[in-house]
Structure formats: C-alpha cells, structure tokens
Structure 1
C-alpha cells in the first residue's frame, strides 16, 4: 500500500492510471476492513484468516505469472485487458488482507494473552509488527528492482507459511471471554495444551510440598 503508485507505474501504467489504481485499492482496503468488523464474530477468526490466505496466495501467484509472460515477451507495457486484470487481482489481495490479517493481527493478539501478561505481550506484538513494517517499507523498492515479478512469488510464499501456521497453531477465540481463554482455548488446543500449566495441579503440588 505504501508504494502502490510506484508498483503500478513499474507495471507499465501511466502516471494518472497509477494514481487512480492506488486510489481504487485504498478504497477496497477501507471497505474490506468494514466487512471484517461485521463478520469477524459471525464466521470466526480462523475462517477469515484461512480464506484470506488462499485468496492472497492465488492472487499473487497469478500476478507473478502474468508479469512473467510480460518479461518473457520483453514488452514495456501491459495491454489494457491485462492491466485491468492485474488491478482486479491486486484489489483481490488487498481485500483479503483487509478483512483478515490486517485487523485480526491486532484483535487476536489482544485476546489470547492472559490478564497478567497482556500488557507485555501486546507491547511485544506492536513492536514486532512495526519493526517488520519498517523493514518491508525500506526494502520493498530494492526487492522490486532485483526480483521483478518474483517479488509476488516471494510474498506468496510467506502467505503460504502464514496460512500453515494459522491452520495448525492459531486457535479460534470467537465469543470466548478473556477470563476463560486458558481453560476453553489453550488447554483444549492439540499443541499448546502441553505448555499450559494446570492451576489445580500447581496448588496440589504446593500443598503437598508444605506438608
């Protein structure tokens, strides 16, 4: 989103078309975020994340294929039909991001931490998020120049990894109070439950130790 006009200009769009395309993707971003607000508690966090993962992965791969053919043909500009199709694919990616990992990255992290560690956990989450946002913002133009259409394959690979992580390791937190998060989420999860201490067992061990 930072470099949308530059990206579209690189793809062969003229200056005005690049700006208009960036405005369109920005509008899609806003509208899709609103969709997330109204749907997140109905369909659940995992459903939105996994559906968006497939949507983002496919849109980036298709964009890379189209641009790969453009590079192979040594053409400087995309035809009008291909240009419109690329804008639609970019909007498809942006919409998926805006109703999933964009807002839910902040929502889920505010739900999963226990009350005792929420401030520290949320602080680390914000720091890591802003750090990698800064890194990508600084490196994107150089990556675009070196990778060319391969940059879309690079990010689609990370989207695939994210989707695998969500599928296996991110629990569903829909309609679960924060006070019950440990009992109803972490202790029921196939992987994380082995790292969650049972409060009753701890009290029993302490009582036995005192005796």
Structure 2
C-alpha cells in the first residue's frame, strides 16, 4: 500500500500523463529500476548500523512528502490534455526517483527481513508464509486496480497512497519493535515480552510466576 508497485508497473503511463514522450518514459523507467536496485544496497549497509525502526520511520516521512508534493503539483498544474510544464514535469520525476530510492532502502527489503526475525520459533514458518502471501496479495490487488483508480481518482491517487504511508508510520511507532542486534532465539524474551503493547499478549513463563502458581 505504499504505492511502489503502481509506480514501478505503470511508470510509463504516469510519465506520459505528465507530458513525457514514449522514449523518455521508457528511459525514466529504466532509471527508476536502476535506482531501486542500487538503493537496496544502502539498506544492506545501514540496517545494522541505524536499526529497522529508524529507517522505516525516516522512509515514511520522505515518501509521504514526495507523494503529497506530487499530488499538489499534478492537481494545480496538470492540464486537461494530460500535459504539464516541462520544468514541473522534471520536478515530479525527481520526486518519483526520491520516493523509489527511499522505499528501496527501507520498506522494500524490510518487508522480507522483519517478518523473518520477529516471529517466535514455534510460529516462524506459518508467520513468514502469511507475511509473504499478504505481500503478494496486495501487490496483485494494487496492480489490477491501479488503472481504474488512476482514471477515477486522477492526481488524488497519490493522496490515497500517502494516506496509507501515514497509517504505516503510526503502525511502526506503536507496534513494530526494534530487533536490531537481538538473537532469534531471544526474540520473545528481549522483544515481545518487553514491548509496551505486545507484552500483554505474551505468556509469563518466568520462575517467579511458576512459584506463585
């Protein structure tokens, strides 16, 4: 629901709508894909230095600003003929690139990393399978619905995805624990049982509780 699949799948449509010709649109897509791959290496370098939560929250802020800025420019300057001033079109493309870069060093790879290390050993297989299936399902739904949403919502489509980014940021703030540097076999004791929210749903198997029983 970040909107990354919509941008990556239909970037030529978006860029043509902004006034770019076919060749320029395809070139922009190639650049977008290259930046997506290159920025993923940034997450490989920073993930254990900065932590998961900080990168996710930083990405939410940057992606939200990019999406809202794109939405504002398109709403105020995109003509009914689907064209726009060349300078503003360039600004929109730069914002799209910044958005893709930020996604690639945060929500993109962490959507696979965090589920693989947060589930307890007893439920890791089922939990990770559910996470992957959810990811693929949302990718399918966004890809199938994007063109219809673009026709009906037009520039407001970016506002739709930016709203979800805001929700995701709040989800990270209150519900996603930091797992950086925590061994997998200690994830329950050091993460879930210490979390302000999730500790309410964890069994207390400490010796003290057994003595009380």
Shorter chain as denominator, the TM-score bin is over 0.9
Q: Partner of 1:60 in structure 2?
A: 67
Q: Partner of 2:100 in structure 1?
A: 94
Out of 3, 13, 22, the position equivalent to 2:10 is: 3
**Counterpart-to-counterpart distance in 1, 2:164 and 2:126:** 26
Listed as ranges, the matches of 1:24-103 within 5 Å are 24-71=31-78, 74=80, 76-103=82-109
Q: Partner of 1:127 in structure 2?
A: 133
Out of 92, 112, 116, the position equivalent to 2:118 is: 112
Deviation of the 1:22 alpha carbon: 0.9
Q: Once the two structures are superposed, what CA deviation does each residue of 1:90-142 show, in whole Å capped at 9, x if it has no partner?
A: 01111111111110011000000011110000111111110111000000111
Taking only aligned residues, the RMSD between alpha carbons, in angstroms, comes to 1.6
User: Partner of 2:120: helix, strand, or coil?
Assistant: coil
Q: Once the two structures are superposed, what CA deviation does each residue of 1:39-75 show, in whole Å capped at 9, x if it has no partner?
A: 100000001000000000000000001000124x545
Out of 186, 208, 213, the position equivalent to 1:180 is: 186
1:192 aligns with 2:203: no
User: Partner of 1:65: helix, strand, or coil?
Assistant: helix
**Counterpart-to-counterpart distance in 1, 2:87 and 2:9:** 25
Q: Give ranges in structure 1 of 5+ residues lacking alignment.
A: none
**Counterpart-to-counterpart distance in 1, 2:110 and 2:28:** 25
TM-score (norm 2): 0.92
TM-score (norm 1): 0.93
Deviation of the 1:202 alpha carbon: 9.6
Out of 129, 140, 144, the position equivalent to 1:138 is: 144
Deviation of the 1:186 alpha carbon: 0.8
> Runs (4+) of structure 1 moved beyond 4 Å?
none
**Counterpart-to-counterpart distance in 1, 2:195 and 2:151:** 43
Q: Partner of 2:25 in structure 1?
A: 18
Deviation of the 1:203 alpha carbon: 7.4
Cα contact 2:19–2:86 (8 A) shared by 1: no
Structure showing greater Rg: 1
User: Partner of 1:3: helix, strand, or coil?
Assistant: helix
**Counterpart-to-counterpart distance in 1, 2:139 and 2:180:** 27
